[in-house]
Structure 1
Amino acid sequence: MDYLKEYQKWLTGDVIDEETKAELRLIKDNDVEIEDRFYQSLKFGTAGLRGKIGAGTNRMNQYTVGLTAQGLADTILRYGQEAKDRGIVIAYDVRHFSREFSELSARIFAANRIKVYLFEDIRPTPVLSYAVRELNTISGVMVTASHNPREYNGYKVYWEEGSQILDDVADKVLMNIEKIKDFSEIKKIELQEGIDNGLIKMIGEEIDSSYLEKVLSMTINDDIDKNISIVYTPLNGTGNVLVQEILKRRGFNNVHIVEEQEEPDGDFTTVGYPNPEDPKAFAYAEKLGKAKDAELLIATDPDADRTAIEVRNEEGEYVFLNGKKIGALLVHYILSERSRKGTLPENGVVVKSLVTGDLSTKIAEKYGVEMIETLTGFKNVCGKANEYDITGEKTFIFGYEESIGYNYGTFVRDKDAVNSTMMIAEMAGFYKKQGKSLLDVLEELFEEFGYYNETLISVVYEGVDGQEKIGRIMEEFRKEGIAKIGEMNLTDTVDYNEDETGLPASNVLKYYYDNGSWFALRPSGTEPKIKLYIYSVGETLEDSEKILKQIEKVAKEKMDSVE
C-alpha cells in the first residue's frame, strides 16, 4: 500500500469528514506517523478488528468500522431472508467510541434491512455471546479491545452458535470488505429511523435476567462459607453490575468493591493497562483487601470475559495465581465435586489450549474425563462445544486458557468472567468451610500430581519493523530449536504450521524436553508482540521455578540474538 497516496486520498476525499481531515493535517510533517497510520489496512480475521483509535486505514475509526460492518452485512445478506429476519445483536464496552461504533454498525445493518438488537448500555462480552444464542440471531458484534491499553478499540464478530467466527465465515466477510472500493458504498440510516421502523430494537435487562438465571443454575455446592471476605474490582470496566448481582444472588454477604475502579472509565485512569493478568492491576484491590481483612481478591478485565485472583497466604500477603493455576483449581473442584455427587457425564470432556499447562490433564485423568487440546483462542475452545452439539459424541464440561479465560457450561460460547467469578467464590467458600485456602488446595494438587510452574512472557515489537522482527524470530526458531537447556535435552519439536497435529495450521512452535518441561512461541494475533509460554516440571516447587528461569533465560537470549 502506498501510504502517502492513501494519506492524500483521505485528506481530499469527499466522504471523509472535516474533523478527521483536521486530525490528519496535524501529522503532515511526520512521515513516520503517516506511514504507521496508512502502510496497511486493519486486517479483518477471526479475532475481528483491533487497533489504535484514530484517523487512517490502520486505525479504528468510523470508516474502518463502517467497512467492516458493511462487509459483514453483505455476508449475512447472502444467507437469505431468514438470516436478515433473525438479525444481529450488538454490544459494547466502556472504551472511547465503543458506543459510537456500535450505533454506527446498527445504522448500517438496518440500512441493509437486517434486524438489529442493540444493547442500550455497556455489557460484558459473555452477555453478547449469550444473547446471540438466546435471541437466535445469525450473528453478533462486540465492540471491545478487551484488556488492551486505552488507545485501542476492537470489533469482535460472533456467529449463530454464540462463539467468535472461524475462518470459513471470516474469509467471506473479508472478501466482501475487499469488494467495497469506496466509503460512499457503505449504506446508513439514522438510528432513530431504524428504531421507528422496527429494524432496530433496544435490549437490556430482560437478557441480563435470563443470563443470570443460567449462571446461577451452574452452582455445585451450597454448603459453603458465604461469609468469606472478598474484594472485587471491575477495573473500571463492564463487569461491575452483573458480577455484584451474581455474588449477591449467590448469598455472599462480605463482598467489598474497589470504589475507585467501580465506575466505567474508558481512560482506565486508576490502572493504565487494564489487564488483570498483570499483578500490578491489583494495587487498589490489595489496599482495600488489607483494610477489610479479605481472603480473596477478584479482578475482571474491561469487557468482563476474563478473571484473575489473588489469595491471602498465612503471612497476610496476597499471592497472585496465574490462569493455569486457577484453571487447574476449577477443573479439580468441578470434577471432584460432580464426581462425588454423581453428576459427571459419562462422555464428558474438558478443553484447553495447547499452550496451557498439563496439571489439569492429570486431574482430569483421575476422574476419567478426557482432556481435549485446541489451538490458542477461545473460539477454538468453544468450537469444540459447537462440534459436540452436532455430533453428540462428547459433553463439554469446562474449557479454559492460560490467559485467565474460563467457561463452565454451554449457554455462553466464550470466556465468561461473571460465571467464573461466581464459581471461584463458591470454590473458595467451599474449601474455607473445610479450613483450607485455595493455596492449600493447590499445594495438595502439587503433592499429588507433581510440582509444575509456568509463565507467559510477551515481547512487544511496535510498527513496521516490529512485525518483520517477529517473523525473523519465528523463522530462526523454526530452523533450529534449543537442543539442551541445563540438564534437559530436547526430545520433540512440533511445528503447528507444518506438522500433522490434527489441528488447523497455526504459527506456533512447541519444544518438549525429557523431564516433561516445554516452551512454546506464538506471535499474537491481535497485538504487535510475540508470546513465549514456559511450562516447567520439578521434584519440588523450588526446582520447578529454577528450571522455568533456565528456560526463560536461554529462550530470550536466542530471541534477542536475532537481528
Structure 2
Amino acid sequence: MDYKDQYESWVTNGYFDEETREALIAIKNDEEEIKDRFYRNLEFGTAGLRGKVGAGTNRMNKYIIRQATQGLADFIVEKGQDYMNRGVAIAYDVRHYSKEFAKEAALVLAGNGIKAYLFEDIRPTPELSYAVRRLKTAGGIVVTASHNPREYNGYKVYWEEGAQILSEIAAVVEKNIESIKDFTKIKILDEQMALDQGLLKILGREIDDEYVEKVKGLSLRDDINKGIKLVYTPLNGTGNIPVRRVLHERGFQNVWVVPEQEMPDPDFTTVGYPNPEDTKAFAYAEKLGKSLGAEMIFATDPDCDRVACMIQGKEGEYTALNGNQTGAVLIEYILSSLKEQGRLTGNDYIVKSIVTGDLGKAIAASYGVKTFETLTGFKNICGKVNEMEKRSDQSFIFGYEESIGYVAGTFVRDKDGVIASMLLCEAAAYYSSLGKSLLDVLEGLYEKHGFYMEKLISLTLEGIEGQKRIGRMMKEYRKSFPKKIGDMGLIQYIDYAEGISVDVINQKETTGNIPVSDVLRYFFKDGSWYAVRPSGTEPKIKIYIYTKGATKREAQEKIVIFEKTIMDLLHGVV
C-alpha cells in the first residue's frame, strides 16, 4: 500500500476518530505533507519511537501508540504468565498528549491481560527505571521526546533490569508491530474495567519517596559549602520537584529556580528548543544567576535524564561546561572522594560511549579504575553494567556520555538528571569550600592529564531527501575518508557497520568483538580522533572531533583543521 492509499484508508476508516480524520482532510491538497506523514511507518528501533505529533503512520498519535504497545504485549505474552503478572511500569513527561499516550499504552497492556503500573502524574524518566527494578516488573514504558522540539513526542521501552531494550528484543517487538496491519485487532480495555480487574494500578508518592532516599544515599561528602548560591531551571519539565526536593533534603540553603521555567509547559514557551546542551537554553537562568551572584547555574532537560551547567568565572560571566568536561569533573570528584574514604576496591570501573572523549578515561586510569566503552546510548552503557553484574566481581561507579547524560549507583539503569544534579551541586559546593570553582578544577585536570579539546557538529537534514542525503554522506565517507589531516597522519580506523578495524601503518585488518552500528572512527598518532555517525533519534548526521595538545591553543588549532577537512568532504556530497 503506497502513501496515497494509506492516507485514504485513514480518512475513510471509521476506526479513526473524527479529530484525526478532520486533521487529514485539512491537508488533502498538500501532496508533500501527505507523503511525509504516510510514506513510511514510524520506525521502532532500540530507542523506541520518536516523531512529530500528528495523524499518520509516520507521526506520533494514539493509534501508533496502541500498535507499538500491542507489539510489546505480544512479546510479553510469549514470555509466559509470570511476565504478564509482573506487568509493565509506565511514566510520562510534560509534552502534548504524553498523559493520553501513557494511558493508551496501559489500557492496551490491560487488554492483553498484562498488569500496568501507571504513574499518577509526570515523573522523570530515571524514576521509571527505578520503578521497574523496585517493582520487579517485566518492563517499562516512558512517553517522552526528551529534549526534542515541542512538536515531538516519543515512546521508550525498558526491560526487566531497568535499562532500555537492546536490539535483540527491539527486533522482535518491531516484527510484532509490523505484523499488525489491522488496527481493529488491537486489544484494549476500558479504564474502569482495568482498575476493577486489578490490571491497572496507579503509582504515587511511595515510589517517589524511595527513589529520593536512594539518590541521597549516593552523597559522598558533607564537608561542603551548603551555602553555595545555585540557580536551577527544569526547562518546564519533570525535574522541578525531584531535583529541588533532593537538594533541599541534602541541606543546600541557596537554590533559586527560574520562575518562568518552573512549571510544566508543553510548548516550552520561554526556550523553544529545550535542550540544555544548547547554551541558549540558559538565557533566563543566566540573567537570574547574575542578579544573585550564583556560582553555578544548571538545567535538566524536560524528562530530567540529562543535566548541563554553567560556572561563574572571575569576571562574573558564565562559562558552559560541555558533556565531556562535566563528566571529567564528576569523575574526579567521585574518585577522589572514594579514594580519600578508602572505598576504591581495585575492581572498579566506569563506562562511556565510543563517541565520548578520553579525559575521563585518563582520570579514571590515574585512580586505577578501568574504563569500558560501548556504542552510543545509555541502553548500551547500562547494558554493559547488566552484563558485568552477571559475570564478574567488578564494581560499577559511573557511566556517562558526551551528550550530558550521567549515572551513578546501581538502582537506576539509565542516565539520571536527578542523581547527576545532586552530585554536580555537591562537587561545586565541595570545591567552593576549598576556594575553587569547577572551572579551576577542570583547568587542573588539563594541566595534569593533557589538553583534551572537542567539538560536536550536527548537520540537520529533514524529511525524505534529508535521510537519503545522510545515507549518501555515510557511504561516500567510507570510500573517501582523508588519510591525512594537516600534518597528522591516520594510524587506525574502525568501521562499526562493517565490523572491521584497520591498522593503517601495518596495513592489517581485524574483525571480531566490534559491535554493529553505523559509526566511523578515525585515530591519529597524537591521540586526536574523530567519529561520524547518523543520529538515531533526530534527522542529523553528527561529527565528533577530539584533539589533544600540549597546550589548549594547540588542541584548539587542530580542531579548526579537522573541521575544515571533514566538512569540505561531507558538504561535497549532494
CA offsets, 1:184-236, max 9 Å, x none? 01111121221122111101210010001111111111100000000000000
Contact 1:384-1:396 at 8 Å conserved across structures: no
Distance, in Å, in 2 between the alignment partners of 1:22 and 1:337 is 60
Unpaired runs of 5+ in structure 2?
A: 501-510
Distance, in Å, in 2 between the alignment partners of 1:503 and 1:155 is 28
What is the 5 A alignment of 1:491-510? Answer: 491-498=491-498, 499=500, 500=511, 502-510=513-521
Runs of 4+ residues over 6 Å off in structure 1: none
2:555 pairs with 1:515:
no
CA offsets, 1:45-104, max 9 Å, x none? 110000000000000001111100111111111111111110000000000000000011
Contact 1:274-1:301 at 8 Å conserved across structures: yes
Other-structure match for 1:472:
472
Shift of 1:513: 1.6
Counterpart residue type for residue 79 of structure 2: Y
Segment drifting more, 343-352 vs 318-327: 343-352
Distance, in Å, in 2 between the alignment partners of 1:504 and 1:62 is 34
2:94 pairs with 1:94:
yes
Shift of 1:344: 1.3
Segment drifting more, 494-503 vs 234-243: 494-503
TM-score, length of structure 1 as denominator length: 0.99
CA offsets, 1:489-538, max 9 Å, x none? 22211111121362321100011122211110010111111011010111
What is the 5 A alignment of 1:52-91? Answer: 52-91=52-91
What is the 5 A alignment of 1:93-242? Answer: 93-242=93-242
Other-structure match for 1:262:
262
Other-structure match for 1:435:
435
Distance, in Å, in 1 between the alignment partners of 2:118 and 2:16 is 26
2:543 pairs with 1:532:
yes
Aligned partner of residue 78 in structure 1, secondary structure: helix
CA offsets, 1:299-353, max 9 Å, x none? 0000000000000011110000000000011111111110111111321111000
Shift of 1:410: 1.0
Segment drifting more, 313-322 vs 479-488: 479-488
What is the 5 A alignment of 1:309-348? Answer: 309-348=309-348
Aligned partner of residue 79 in structure 2, secondary structure: coil
Distance, in Å, in 2 between the alignment partners of 1:167 and 1:451 is 36
Aligned partner of residue 298 in structure 1, secondary structure: strand
Other-structure match for 2:349:
349
Aligned partner of residue 128 in structure 1, secondary structure: helix
Aligned partner of residue 60 in structure 1, secondary structure: coil
Distance, in Å, in 2 between the alignment partners of 1:162 and 1:371 is 22
CA offsets, 1:411-454, max 9 Å, x none? 00000000000000110111111111000010110000111111
Aligned partner of residue 117 in structure 1, secondary structure: strand
Other-structure match for 2:280:
280
Contact 1:374-1:503 at 8 Å conserved across structures: no
What is the 5 A alignment of 1:380-459? Answer: 380-459=380-459
Segment drifting more, 266-275 vs 550-559: 550-559
Aligned partner of residue 228 in structure 2, secondary structure: coil
Distance, in Å, in 1 between the alignment partners of 2:401 and 2:359 is 13
Distance, in Å, in 2 between the alignment partners of 1:148 and 1:482 is 33
Distance, in Å, in 2 between the alignment partners of 1:192 and 1:303 is 28
Distance, in Å, in 1 between the alignment partners of 2:179 and 2:523 is 44
Shift of 1:551: 1.1
Aligned partner of residue 43 in structure 2, secondary structure: coil
Distance, in Å, in 1 between the alignment partners of 2:550 and 2:368 is 25
Counterpart residue type for residue 562 of structure 2: I
Unpaired runs of 5+ in structure 1?
A: none
The percentage of aligned residue pairs carrying the same residue is: 57
Shift of 1:560: 0.5
Change (3 A) 1:443 1:501: farther
Distance, in Å, in 1 between the alignment partners of 2:393 and 2:182 is 47
Other-structure match for 1:247:
247
Distance, in Å, in 2 between the alignment partners of 1:192 and 1:548 is 59
Distance, in Å, in 2 between the alignment partners of 1:539 and 1:167 is 41
Counterpart residue type for residue 255 of structure 1: V
Other-structure match for 1:290:
290
Counterpart residue type for residue 76 of structure 1: I
Aligned partner of residue 95 in structure 2, secondary structure: coil
Segment drifting more, 478-487 vs 271-280: 478-487
Contact 1:375-1:503 at 8 Å conserved across structures: no
Distance, in Å, in 2 between the alignment partners of 1:501 and 1:425 is 42
Distance, in Å, in 2 between the alignment partners of 1:549 and 1:443 is 21
CA offsets, 1:523-557, max 9 Å, x none? 01111110110101112112211111221122111
Counterpart residue type for residue 540 of structure 2: K
RMSD in angstroms over aligned alpha carbons?
0.9
Other-structure match for 2:3:
3
Aligned partner of residue 231 in structure 1, secondary structure: strand
Distance, in Å, in 2 between the alignment partners of 1:471 and 1:181 is 28
Shift of 1:273: 0.2
